Structure formats: C-alpha cells, structure tokens
Structure 1
C-alpha cells in the first residue's frame, strides 16, 4: 500500500472511530441504570470484602483493604470482557451491525470506538472507587510516577479485555447467550490473587492463579502503588509483574483485535 493510501486509511479510521466513540458514549448515557450498577458494584465489593473478609485473614483490616483495592480495580477492568461481549452481541442481534456494514465506514472503526468508549467510562468510574478506597484506609505509598503508571496499565488491560469481549459478542450474536457467558467471567478474578494472596493456594491452583493475567496486573498495581511487595518464588508473570502485564496485554491485543475486526467486517463468513 502506498504512503498516500496508508495515510488515507489512517485518517478514515480516526475520523470514523471518533464518530463511533461518540455513538457509544451516547448509548451509555441513555442507559444510566447499567452504568450506575457497573460503577457502584466495585465499591460495594470493597466495603463488603474489606470488612468481612478482612476480619478473617491474618492481615490487619486497613492493610487488607490496601491489598484488596488494586485487585478490585483489576477485576473491574477484566469485566471489559463482559461489557464488550454484551454490547457487541446486542448490536449484532438487533441488526445494528448489519446496518453499519452497509455504510462507508472503516471496518475497524466500530469495534475501536466501542473499546475506546469503554476505557473512557472505566477511567471515570475508577475515580469514585479510589476515593472510597482512600476513605477506608488505602494510600498510594509509592511514587507519583508509579501511581500514574499503574493507572495507565489498568486502562491498557481494560482496553485489551474489551477486544476479547467484542470478538466473543460478535461470535455469539445473541444477547441472552452473551449475558450468560459474560456472567461466567465473574470466576476469573476468583482464580487469581485479586482477593487473597496466591501463596496459600494448593500447588496446582496456585499455578493457575499466577498464570492468570489478572494476577500479573494486580501484582503490578500493588507494587506500583506501594501497597504490597512482589511475592518471591512466583511464576514469571507475577515475579515480573509490569513486564508480565504488558506481555499479556500485547498478546490479547495481537490475537483478538484482528479476530474482532475480521469478524465485524465479514460477519458469519
């Protein structure tokens, strides 16, 4: 492809992607109930887990809540699979995707707009969770640069998981099936170190937890925020959490962006 053709394709992607971003944001604004639920659920979990589970663990209450908050942030980011899947399946099921395919719109623009809008909403929803975390004892104990890096890594992970959900939603093509499958993703944070340290798990289960991408990102946030040290003797993604998180994000994007764009462009073919 010539430089002019590449430049034109990039311009079309940015222009059309911005339009699709606006569509997704308006769509979320018109469904405030779902938006409120997804934003308040992590706060509810922080308060419930922080005070109920915290009393049953060896860590003191505030220390456990500081340990828990990064895990909840990452578990919320992993919900990009569920939201991406449901929205893509809803558009497909209702014929919106077929109508968009008939328009002179860049084929990558629609899923790109959806994923970027999801990251914008996630970034806004992170603020109240962090404020509640501060109220219950969580603090940034590391550097400001580390905290900024942690937030950036969190949003990158959300961006990657949203692409996974978009592909699965285009694959299922059914709102009900996407809702049921999306609900099953709730188990993913439970098979990680998001809520409890993985060191105390049985051997095989600890291996599963440490190779779960959620564990790598959670450990990276705890380390960057200064809330907990990197555990010794862990699997590579957890022992090198920032590198492991970036590797997982790059792998998810490399696999699911082309799959989602191809599925959107060609439908069931």
Structure 2
C-alpha cells in the first residue's frame, strides 16, 4: 500500500535521508525547507525514486505556513498517513552563557514552537480524516542526559519529550498514533559545519564520537522500518540504544573503527 508522508526540515541531513528512504519504497513524500535553493536541490535528488515527491517553502515557526504545508500535501496526495516533525536546529559549540541570543531564540522557535505547530496542525488534520501517525524527532538531552555545548539544544529536546507524551495522552481516545524518533549520533551537514567552526572542541571529542556516529544512509532505513511498524502511541523508534552504545565502546577498546569523519574532509 502506498502511503503519503510529510517530513519537515527535509532538504538535508536525516530529514532528506528519511524522505529518500520512503520514496525509494514507493511512498509519496512532501518535503519542506525555508530555503528555495535547498528545496530545489533536494527535489532533484529525489526525482529518480519511484515514489512521488513534492516540496514547499515552509518556516515551521509560522503556523500559517505549516497549515499550508498540510493543505497542499492533502490536496496533492489525499489523506496524510505519516507526519514527521524533523525540522530542528542544533548549535552546540558554546556553553549556555555564551550562546548568542539570536541562536537561542532560533533554536527555541524552530525546535519547540515549530514542532508544536506541526503537531497541532497534523493532529487536527488526522483526527478529521480518522487516522494517521505523527512522530517527533528527539535528540541529545531528551532523556535528561548532559553533553557539553548542548545546554540550550538539549533543553528544547527534553521539553519535546514531555510534550510528545502529553499529546499522546490527550489523543488516546482517537486513531492518531503519536511516536518519537531518536536517530542517535548521525553525521549531517550540521555536524560537519560545527566541527569546522570549532575544530579544537571537535578534536577533543573525535575519538569518542567516532565510536558512536553513523551515516544517514545507514540509519534512515532502520528508522523507516520502525516508523512503519509502529502501532501504538508512546513508541520510541531508536537507533542508538544503551546496549549498542555499550557494545561499541567495549569493542573500541580492542578494535579501532575506521575514521568516520575523514570522508567528509574532517
């Protein structure tokens, strides 16, 4: 059965990886970005896939734009079966007191307000149509763990973990499934950008990160499998779990993993 999927923040990184994986399986996908150039580039990359892909400019912090994203996808595909709130910004090169105010506000608007907007629009639409799956992308800090540089970003993701649980409880009496995604440590354009901005900090954590990071094309198929298999609210689709972390760290004591960053010029 062909499904109709909407993914926010989906012109690069894990969002584009998910879009490509869904489209490669023949599903229809609507992507979005604030950048027209990135949107055009992503659509060109997805054009060869069997699933139909469409794109739209959308700032998720603008609820009117999010509603237009839903309306356009519904008009194009019919019912929306899966909505993934992936749009997010991670600026992790500063301690809390040194994060530029503009970066703080952009992270809050994109990660928190943008996801809340997406949930409210998609959940209302799915209740009206009688079904659907809605997933929020979590990340470092969402379980309460601390990492240097993630003070603001982790706070947004911690808040979204609570918000997702709350939404699932409020929608427990309807056929809208609310789930979470934790992709683990994935090498994306954002990770590469921050490593180049703060090479000293990156080199300090490089050895540990090298044991845990993965590439988008490794993680995306696993996440899509989990999303498609999810049948109840509260499900966490998680790539890098505690057992996998422990296994990799232990293995790293005896076998050196090939450097995962060198192919990206780091």
TM-score for the superposition, normalised by structure 1: 0.31
From the two aligned structures, give the one with the greater helix fraction.
1
Q: Which has the larger radius of gyration?
A: 1
From the two aligned structures, give the one with the greater strand fraction.
2
